[in-house]
A and B are shown apart, each in its own frame.
Chain A
């Protein structure tokens, strides 16, 4: 979705290239739906508040309409065994797809002991102990700030120092 967006926006001269890079960075950094963050930013830039509102609506509407259409359709034909079989096939494929995504992301993001510890602890907390994902996200945010401070003031072994910190937060 992002490369597509980038091309349209730069082609239409709504944003400069480096402004667009800023826009994507901030869209990914803020919580919430990335496409909506980006739409709000671009809309705001081009036409102010009304621009932001219409760009956001534009991103939402297709999904909204399509899902309602599909759900309504499935209500009438969903009992069909072929449809149910197709659903099983797609669901199994989705598992594979998400697995590939997580491996790719892991290779990019998990490049330090700190990152690995955080990822493993949150995974265990969520899957093993059924802890709400929101706590894992908050713990990650706090651990990240602490890690940054320790890294600035301390030496190389900081990753080991704030591991217990992350642990404590996740287990809460």
Chain B
């Protein structure tokens, strides 16, 4: 039964995941939360792991969730589920690629979905930061009660330095990740 859950959950993620790995994060987050198989904390671990290992983010996520929840069979079923929609759809569309790319409806759909992917990635920033930069949801009563203690100072500094290094100095993301991992090991342990 668990295996069926895992399969359908990740099949759905694969079917609605537009715009690459980061845009799929909110989808994955909401699914694992509603199925109650992962805490926000574990989710952010998964995101961190996916960023420092190679390969498509959604495959990393499916393997991670499936393996943690139901061992090797879980990992296989979840990964199969997340990959199958892309595989099947491409098999179907393969024969009329040109027509598909030029279709007005497809162009319309994409014109509407692209702005939504920006919002999805924005949501991913919020979901991940709530587990690392602050002690919980960014907008909450607890924030008013505890004030600045609500925020984690060192992670916020690491966050800011990353934004500057990647955004302004165009440093390679993977290098920054490794650097910040070392910084975290020294400063946050």
Binding site for B on A (CB under 8 A): 1, 22-23, 25-37, 40-41, 44, 49, 52, 56, 59-60, 62-64, 66-68, 70-71, 81-103, 105-106, 109-110, 114-116, 118-123, 126-127, 130, 132-134, 136-137, 139-149
Contacts and interface: CB of A to CB of B under 8 A. Distances in A.
Contacts of B75: 64, 67-68
A133 B127 CA distance: 13
Contact of A68 (B72, B104, B116, B162): B72
A82 B184 CA distance: 8
A22 B14 contact: no
B123 A144 contact: no
Interface of B: 12, 14-22, 26-27, 30, 44-45, 47-49, 51-56, 58-60, 63-64, 67-68, 72, 75, 79, 82-83, 85-87, 89-91, 93-94, 97-98, 100-101, 104-126, 128-129, 131-133, 154-156, 158-163, 166-167, 173, 176-177, 179-189
A145 B118 CA distance: 18
Contacts of B133: 92, 95
A98 B29 CA distance: 15
A63 B90 CA distance: 21
A119 B17 CA distance: 16
Contact of B112 (A25, A28, A59, A147): A147
Given A95-B128, A134-B16, A123 B119 contact: yes
Contacts, number: 323
A63 B186 contact: no
B71 to A, nearest CB: 10
B141 to A, nearest CB: 16
Contacts of B156: 92
B155 A88 contact: yes
Q: Most chain-A Cβ atoms within 10 A of its Cβ — which of B93, B113, B133?
A: B113
B91 A147 contact: no
B72 to A, nearest CB: 7
21 contacts: A52-B87, A62-B55, A63-B63, A68-B67, A82-B185, A85-B189, A87-B48, A89-B182, A89-B184, A91-B128, A92-B158, A93-B177, A94-B128, A95-B132, A101-B121, A109-B118, A114-B115, A136-B116, A140-B115, A145-B109, A147-B111
